[in-house]
Amino acid sequence: MEETYLLNVEGVKKKILHGGQGELPKLQDGSKFTFHFQTLKDDFERTVIDDSREAGMPMEIIVGKMFKLEIWETLLSSMRIGEVAEFWCDAIHTGMYALVSRGMRRIAEGRDPLEGQKHRCGMGNMFDYHSTGYEDLDELQRTPQPLIFIMELFRVRGWWGWLPGLQQLGQAAQLLLPGQVEDPSAYKRDTWAMSKEEKLAAVPVLHSEGNRLVLRREFAQAAAKYQEAVICLRNLQAKEKPWEDGWLKLESLVTPLVLNYCQCQLELGEYYEVLEHTTELLQKHNDNAKAYFKRAKAHAAVWNEREAREDFQRVAHLDPSMAAAVKKELKQLGERMRKKHVEERKRYQGLFQSSQGL
């Protein structure tokens, strides 16, 4: 089930991934939300920033207790029990996320969430300290950006008091201990909720589904399958050390999926997206002839003649078996450019003659 709509809040979009039960909860100060969440970047790979499932503990916030990330209370208030929803939030709502995440991570690590802070407001602390202690959070702090939150609401109930040892978050948040939350409603697991083994098993299935959709020329749907498979692998890759064996094995699975995704985008006319993803791929793998070929076609489509020719020439150099395809593409590019120049000359002549007649 997927339903996308706007909440009555500027800069927020909601997509229901799994419907909940009953009516929207009636809330009052002291009501308590219990939920799992995942925070993602709004990028192609939907890079995971935080995941309460991996921490092994769901989260709890209390209505009216001035949670630092105010938008979360609004998001949760729009959900029914058992619902799973994805929220896109513009940067106007996510500026404090780095500080909130730092506190939650420190609690999960058994540290004081307010360690090192002065008795000042959160924003003041953010400027006092140049680093949160986490590289990815430092990036968010330097460059505020839209974020995606996937939330699964388990229950809403009255406030029964703070959990021992977690008072230090005060007006920020609580994390429940394992076993204190009812099992969520049964639903088809999305990739965000999968274990490592489930993600690995899902990749070939998604790859095959994408290929099947390509044969049916359903390119947008195929691209979505390839992208979901890439997200699974990137999430796993984030736990590996770059360029070591585990990371490289996953990268070898990512590369053909990204190329398939780019081919779909070429078919859909999304040329600048192809340029973006092939360029990113070539920064890691500068000998990939197929990536150069797709980038060359995208350059040609947006009239970047010099860049297209350079990439086509690289393809022929890296993979002589593609020389015939390159020759054909270069011929088509030359014909298109000549036609474009002829049309431009005619247009300029028409403009010149019109100005002479004035």
What is the distance between the alpha carbons of residues 246 and 252, in angstroms, rounded to a whole number?
10
Q: What is the pLDDT of residue 144?
A: 87
| Number of residues that make up the chain | 358
pLDDT digits (tens, 9 = 90+) for 20-76: 888 887 777 777 888 999 999 999 889 999 998 887 778 888 776 656 788 898 899
Q: What is the pLDDT of residue 343?
A: 82
Q: What is the pLDDT of residue 188?
A: 41
Q: What is the pLDDT of residue 114?
A: 54
What is the distance between the alpha carbons of residues 69 and 32, in angstroms, rounded to a whole number?
15
Question: Residue 285 carries which side chain, given as an amino acid letter?
Answer: H
Q: Which residues pair with 39 in a beta bridge?
A: 50, 149
Enumerate domains of the chain plus CATH numbers.
5-110+134-157 (3.10.50.40), 196-335 (1.25.40.10)
Instruction: Give the residues of the chain that fall short of pLDDT 50.
Output: 1-2, 117-129, 159-188
3-class secondary structure, 149: strand
pTM value?
A: 0.59
Q: What is the pLDDT of residue 187?
A: 34
Q: What is the torsion angle, in degrees rounded to the nearest 10, for the CA atoms of residue 279, residue 284, residue 289 and residue 295?
A: -10
Q: What is the pLDDT of residue 142?
A: 86
Q: What per-residue string of b and e applies to 41-51 under the rule 16 or more CB within 10 Å gives b? A: beebbbbbbbb
Closest by alpha carbon to 166, among 60, 63, 39? 60
Whole-number Cα distances in Å, 260 to 55, 128, 247, 253, 284: 33, 46, 20, 12, 17
